[in-house]
Structure 1
């Protein structure tokens, strides 16, 4: 039977009465808990007192009871574990919020499941109406291959199909016909049969511009705000109280501000500003640098709820589409899986050393934190080459520049990151979802450097934890699951979705995983003085957990949820186990 937690506005008869000035009392107290402060000593307390939106005191139950008066809201958590509000280091809530408003995105694990979904779509869509699957990655299918053109054509002979994998995709013959893609179409992003010269249906991102897909549905600002506020509520259920939105612009910044003005914002936001996806098909580096000068804001501007984050660029592609820039050629098995022909192919790069140096230097001189999407080890090394050169004249130590994703960190690269103070913005659930496939595709030797959390921490690299959530509403079945406890479990166990343990020597402790999702992520946003731990003076952002993360069974960690989440001392999520009362 589930225990209910009582939230009561009555005063305990043994509590301090109103003999003190009202300002000395707490507005809210959390009593009878196991409070993991995540302070420097990882101290464990019993209770918390909150005044306004800040923590007044953390201590024993007897100490905190002295701060209760007639107006204090008392929450007895009955021995449950209390942690600082979790901070999500990298996700895309604006996209996720809209992803299933029209229809649910299916979870498909086999080619047959995919084809059956496509067939059902043909039955409800009109002739020539597009069937689009967002964020589709065939390396996550059991067969570890894309559906063939024949399979797609049999499932959808009339309707155009586009399986969109961000940095790569798959289309059928109807999509080619509507988009005028033939054997004569010249584009490096179209994979063709080496014998017949006919397109195979496999595309890289550069060819997406050729597709005659319908425009995205246009939502009003009010609709977007409502959907985004609802998405943040889903994060609150897992104890998330702050997020770093991975890629936005000033319009996105204004959207969050409007949600705040409406008192609907339930997570604090650090919003990265993304520069053009591919400068070779958009704007020049000169134009990019000029735009920095024209911006009247920089990292840290805003308020305690919505702040400008890092200046972000996209350096390479993605590991799930064979476009990440690796240290060595992808190899023969990868050629079979992804279909490229060049045996020396290492992936794609959107910027060379000189271009990167100019952009990073500008950011460093202009007061911006800099972060780069980089999914392959070759990209990691290139970034570190640039960082090291700039660091000779402009110290990067305290600028908290970050490599987003990175994935493949060698012992040498982690040492270089420590020396220059570069942060690792990592997505632990990718180990869960993708380590098995990549052991097959690139081999166990290279996978030994895949998300090496133990090595990074031992080399004093600041590791940040996020999900890169983009589509679907569910925390665990999303293409990139946003359940932070699943991420922590992956760091702790190194276990994949297929129950294989990958590089167990890179496992970390429960305490270390908690630090990554709390105080480490606060450092990433320059906010360690105001959040990330439960200490006097910091924001009263916290979560009461369904299980004790320090003592529950290892397998239970991934199933933990919050039963009560507070942001600034206000309840933003309460489960059915929470009994709200005013006695």
Structure 2
């Protein structure tokens, strides 16, 4: 009883503070609300506030929470009202790791995610080749050889050769990006334009996969993709700058539209160019950023000293923050690019690929700590994660006066058991993606064996129990940008065949929701304005069709986003039953 009374008092005190009242009795509110949400279940995630049924918004901030009767006292002639009819409201989902331009770009490419096998992909390319002009590039995204129902006819290293694509598209270069984004498959015309032949050496941090005679088969891992990327950019250079910028703007707009339809109110954009940040600033200046962005700079070949001018916090009325640098230590497990301590079980001649030098990474980390940038490093394999933890620890020791840096490891997917406690000890955030566990689960043991998978693959529970901060995302477009599916994966670890992938690593429902809200806000230094539905914080929230914290487990995946509210404004609606308008 004492705890409940304390929480109730906290609600009244907080609400009174923002209303300028001694209590919330509905008699005389000093200011009317712009939006009132009533007759629902307000999941605040604020430990000081009990579950409530109504909420009021003034401007872009949460004004008060409480009972429907209390919030109705704040309704004026111009107040918009949403009657939830018992539905839940939660803090807006924060996409903790995604790729916004790519999310839009793949909507303008061939969708290979549902291809059952290589034959399906060849048929899609054959059809596309009939529609395009000679010389135009054909691009697709999302294939994954481990998800095909049968192997290709000609197999090298578990992969097809380019000859099928080259035969049906001899005059059009074809570039098909792996679902992970860490490999591409191309045809002979693309190899020709990229200057890749039998004598082309593997670049540092990359691999040109070859047949026994040394001929490239069309598969390019990690930095070897740069050859084809450069060839595509030469093709793009024939277009006007206006056309290119218009296409990039459309991609961002498509991505934002998809994000808000899934209840995403903030998007951690993991690795973009300075040119893309310039586009974001332009959109912010024009009031066209529909989703709040927390952006990580991908330096590529940009001198570090040029990055300092791009650091921004709460630009564009709080819609654009750029205060992180994205680094890469290795590739992806699906493409055999993750850097491992021991060889792959299904490729014993390989331990994967480091994609950067330790010296270069150390220089980048030192720049970050000296210029107020958070460092967020992609690391999937256990060797890559250990190297990054070692590097962070070294930099931290060299700067003992720096505290609260909140540096992150993006993915933290496969860990040696000895390294799991180091996240909490060093204050390093494990920026993970729950849905990767269930998407990759059917083939992970094939890659690294059962013991390594059990000890450290997608070790959510172990990291959480070690007191590490675990944040959550989808890695969109690598996976669908669907927080509900991701939440379901975190709490069930359910595979497509109905089994659970090491279920001892599941999170509770409240933990899983916090990983997508509270922890993602913390991972971006934004917990003071986001992550909970607390009076004074930004009015970013989502109305769901089901209470994912309490419904039977088999109904979680069917929950839908009915309404997305950002900055106090309704930016997405998907239910005629939710009415809003004047009181």
TM-score (norm 2): 0.85
CA contact (8 A) 2:386 2:419 kept: yes
CA change 1:251–1:42 in 2 (3 A) is farther
Q: 2:378 corresponds to which residue?
A: 373
Q: Distance in 1 between the 2:67 and 2:26 partners? A: 20
Q: 1:260 corresponds to which residue?
A: 284
Q: 2:293 corresponds to which residue?
A: 269
CA contact (8 A) 1:397 1:421 kept: no
CA contact (8 A) 1:140 1:434 kept: no
Return 145-154 or 372-381, whichever deviates more.
Answer: 145-154
**1:317 aligned residue (331, 339, 355):** 331
Q: Distance in 2 between the 1:70 and 1:132 partners? A: 53
Aligned residue for 1:334, secondary structure, equals: coil
CA shift for structure 1 position 100: 2.5
CA shift for structure 1 position 401: 0.3
CA shift for structure 1 position 113: 1.6
Q: Distance in 2 between the 1:263 and 1:483 partners? A: 25
Q: Deviations over 1:352-377 (max 9, x none)?
A: 43333332122112211111112211
CA shift for structure 1 position 21: 6.0
| 2:211 maps to 1:193 | yes
| 2:221 maps to 1:204 | yes
Return 461-470 or 548-557, whichever deviates more.
Answer: 548-557
CA change 1:49–1:222 in 2 (3 A) is same
1:426-441, aligned counterparts within 5 Å? 426-441=432-447
Q: Distance in 1 between the 2:193 and 2:295 partners? A: 38
Return 154-163 or 557-566, whichever deviates more.
Answer: 154-163
Aligned residue for 1:431, secondary structure, equals: helix
CA shift for structure 1 position 576: 3.2
Q: Distance in 1 between the 2:25 and 2:395 partners? A: 60
> How large is the Cα RMSD of the aligned pairs?
2.7
Structure 2, unmatched stretches of 5+, are 1-23, 152-157
CA contact (8 A) 1:334 1:442 kept: no
Q: Distance in 1 between the 2:77 and 2:128 partners? A: 60
Q: 1:66 corresponds to which residue?
A: 73
CA change 1:100–1:74 in 2 (3 A) is closer
Q: 1:579 corresponds to which residue?
A: 579
Aligned residue for 1:579, secondary structure, equals: coil
Q: 2:527 corresponds to which residue?
A: 528
CA contact (8 A) 1:491 1:513 kept: yes
CA shift for structure 1 position 178: 5.2
Q: 2:405 corresponds to which residue?
A: 399
CA change 1:120–1:71 in 2 (3 A) is closer
Q: 2:37 corresponds to which residue?
A: 30
CA shift for structure 1 position 146: 2.2
**1:466 aligned residue (464, 470, 473):** 473
| 2:256 maps to 1:232 | yes
Q: 1:13 corresponds to which residue?
A: none
CA change 1:89–1:75 in 2 (3 A) is same
Matched pairs, number = 538
Q: 1:170 corresponds to which residue?
A: 185
CA contact (8 A) 2:98 2:269 kept: yes
**1:452 aligned residue (450, 454, 459):** 459
| 2:201 maps to 1:183 | no
Aligned residue for 1:387, secondary structure, equals: helix
CA shift for structure 1 position 381: 0.2
Q: Distance in 2 between the 1:229 and 1:411 partners? A: 42
Structure 1, unmatched stretches of 5+, are 1-15, 277-281, 336-342, 471-478
| 2:371 maps to 1:354 | no
TM-score (norm 1): 0.85
Q: Distance in 2 between the 1:174 and 1:224 partners? A: 25
Return 507-516 or 556-565, whichever deviates more.
Answer: 556-565
Q: Deviations over 1:272-315 (max 9, x none)?
A: 11111xxxxx47xxx43x435xx234363635221113111122
Q: Distance in 2 between the 1:518 and 1:321 partners? A: 31
Q: Deviations over 1:317-348 (max 9, x none)?
A: 222211111121224x136xxxxxxx2x3222
Return 123-132 or 164-173, whichever deviates more.
Answer: 123-132
Q: Distance in 1 between the 2:310 and 2:184 partners? A: 36
CA contact (8 A) 1:86 1:242 kept: yes
Q: Distance in 2 between the 1:352 and 1:98 partners? A: 30
CA shift for structure 1 position 431: 1.5
